[in-house]
Amino acid sequence: MNLRYCPTPEAVPGSGQTDAAVVIDVLRATTTIGWALHNGATAVHVFADLDALRRAAAAAPQDERLLAGERGGRTLEGFDLGNSPVAVTPAVVEGKQLFLSTTNGTRALERVQAVPQVFTCSLNNLAAVVARLQALAVGHVRIVGSGWEGSYSLEDSLAAGALLHAMATALGSDPHNHCGNDEMAAALALWQVWQHNPEACLRRATHGQRLQRLGNHDADFRCCAAVNSLAVVPTQVRPGVFGLV
């Protein structure tokens, strides 16, 4: 299995063989999507554009929809939820459809909508994503970090390296044998440095520092840093819509 890493949506090439795409936004979109589906949300609809989100949400029954989103880490005005994985509890999201837009993660998901298989990954569900990729026996996997407004993010690269490491461990092989580009090798090295304290890496990251300036996000950091705390694999069931299959 060959894994190539694109640190931002802008780095995803317009052509080239890709059997599956795995999108990562540790702080916090893909962590939130995973917990929302685990806790009973029926679907998560993702949008880069807020007007498109509002139009789609308006077509859903009012008692079955929740608007969730942020810009710059702050909850959007008039939305039911922000982008916190600890806020999407069963009491809030069970039986609901989430209509989600975030600063970076939903842009990354939109960028790879046309790939045959699209999954979301965080530090929480590494093993589950590895098992899914193995079951599909895909050859070329594109791992896409969400970054921050087009620039590199430390936390997404950490998770990309963790995913490669988990894949190689499951296959009983040297992780370097699966590196498809230098970006992937660098992400692996990052994970090897921080694997024993991923929360410290998340807090060191620029976006982690931004969240800390905005307020107390300790619960989010603990949740986002918890390796293999989830067994779900959010899967694109139709363009822009994620569920459990």
Residue 146: φ, ψ to 5°: -85, -25
CA distance 223 to 84: 9
Question: Can you give the pTM of this predicted structure?
Answer: 0.97
| Structural domain contains residue 195 | yes
Domain count, the chain: 1
Helix, strand, coil percentages (3-state) for the chain, rounded to 5, are 45, 20, 35
Residue 112 is encoded by which pair of tokens? Answer: 């790879």
Percent share of the chain, pLDDT over 70: 100
| Other CB atoms within 10 A of residue 125 CB | 28
DSSP-based three-state secondary structure for 27: coil
| Structural domain contains residue 245 | no
CA distance 91 to 93: 6
Structural domain that includes position 14: 2-237
| Structural domain contains residue 244 | no
Q: Which of 100, 103, 110 is nearest to 79 (CA)?
A: 100
What local confidence, expressed as pLDDT, does residue 36 receive?
98
The alpha helices in 39-153, defined as continuous H runs, are 50-58, 90-93, 105-111, 126-136
| Structural domain contains residue 174 | yes
Q: Are 205 and 195 in contact (CB under 8 A)?
A: no
pLDDT band for position 97 (cuts 50, 70, 90): very high
What local confidence, expressed as pLDDT, does residue 17 receive?
87
CA distance 122 to 236: 15
User: Which residue shows structure tokens 């299995």?
Assistant: 1
CA distance 26 to 51: 25
| Structural domain contains residue 243 | no
What local confidence, expressed as pLDDT, does residue 16 receive?
81
CATH of the domain at 105: 3.90.1560.10
| Structural domain contains residue 121 | yes
Per-residue pLDDT of 150-175, as tens digits, reads 999 999 999 999 999 999 999 999 99
What local confidence, expressed as pLDDT, does residue 79 receive?
98
| Structural domain contains residue 179 | yes
pLDDT band for position 208 (cuts 50, 70, 90): very high
Amino acid at 44: V
| Structural domain contains residue 132 | yes
User: Which residue shows structure tokens 């299959």?
Assistant: 245
